[in-house]
Structures are given as C-alpha cells and as structure tokens.
Amino acid sequence: MSGSAREGFDARAAVTRSMLGWGVVAGPFYLLVAVVHAALKEGFDFSRHALSLLMLSDTGWIQRVNLILVGLMVIVAAIGFARSAEGPGRARWLGALLGVYGATLIGSGIFAPDPMGGFPPGAEETASIGGVLHLAFGALGFLALGIAALVAAGWLAARYGRGAGALSAVAGVVVIAGFAAGAALATSTAGIVALWAAVVVGFAWLLVASIGAYRTVPHPDLDRR
C-alpha cells in the first residue's frame, strides 16, 4: 500500500485504519441509542413496532439524529474499504455498496415512516410520500448491504477460511430476506423478528468485515511492519 511516510509514519494507513474503525462503532451505537430510546418510550412494543417508528414520537429527533449519524459513520467506513490495501477491485465494490447503504440511512432519517401497529398511540395509520420514501430508502439500503456481504464472501474465505466466507454469504441472504419479510409482514411479530434479524446481522457483518479490512492495512508505524 502506498502512503505518505514521514519520519517513519504512514499517514495514509493511519487515516484508513481510523475510517474502518467507524464500521465497528456504527452498529453498536445505533442499537444502543435506539433500544434505550424505545425502552423509555411509552406505547412502544418491541414485538410489534420497528425502531424507525420512534421518529414519530415526541422525541423523534433522537432517532432521526441516530440514523443520520450512523449513516455518516458507514460512509466514512465505506471510504476506508475503498482505500484498503487488499483486492482493489473488490474493495472499490465494497466501498461503493457501503456508501449507498450509508446514504440510505441518512435518507431514512430525513423521511419518517407512516404510523403503524398502533404507534404512536392515537395516530391515524395513513400513507404518505414521506413514508413511501422511508420504505424505499430502507429497501435500497438493505439490498446494498446484503450484496456487500455476498461480494465480501470470496475475500473473507481467501483470507480467513471457507467458514468465514460462508458466514458472510449467509449474512447477506439474511439481510436481504429479513428486510423483505419485515416489509411484507410489518404488522406482525414475525415481520418484526425478521426485520430485527436483518438489522442485527447486517451490523454484525459490518463490524466483522471492518475488522478484517482493518487488518489488511499495514501498520502506520513503518518500523512495526
């Protein structure tokens, strides 16, 4: 990997590693903020309501900011993937797909979903353009994330063994199928469970893949390479 080495320090490698670190932080940050918010919100039922519905509450700005901040984190990590040392073609594809995912998280934070499943309490369940856009951003984002996991399967298998590649491929399928099932069965517990699977597995994959990419980047201290 080329870098601007000055006095035994590769600044490019240090920046790339730092960027990939945001891929590790993004998922836990999102889930912690959203779950705590939901747990404290009257009328919210984890078995019936998607986390995005928190945007419709009186403290909805918390979930909006959560989605937008996590989207920015994912975009920074996506740039880190594109800059990473190993497999430039694959790294560019992963960077592009994760960049799309990050952008859709921001879009989902801008456009709120429509009321559903009795949340927020007393709200009329009507369709809106904003709600349709929220769903469209979600569909595009989960599709991009799922494809990223499928694309990364070969790289992870080559570096960490077939098991790692297989798990990445399975994660990709779970992300795409989980969101599809969640959208189709949005008002049922089964749909919410499927959506949770897509979210948790997707962020878990991003965390593991970011660590894997991080390890491909040479240490910025040239004396430790």
Asked whether residue 11 is domain-assigned, the answer is: yes
Question: Total structural domains in the chain?
Answer: 1
Q: How far apart are CA 166 and CA 176, in angstroms?
A: 16
Asked whether residue 2 is domain-assigned, the answer is: no
Asked whether residue 44 is domain-assigned, the answer is: yes
Mean pLDDT, contiguous 10-residue spans, the chain (225 residues): 56 89 97 97 93 96 98 96 68 88 98 92 89 96 97 86 92 96 88 96 96 83 61
Q: How far apart are CA 12 and CA 7, in angstroms?
A: 13
Range of the domain at 193: 7-224
- CB-side neighbour CA atoms (13 Å) of 33: 20
User: pTM of the predicted model, to two decimals?
Assistant: 0.90
Asked whether residue 67 is domain-assigned, the answer is: yes
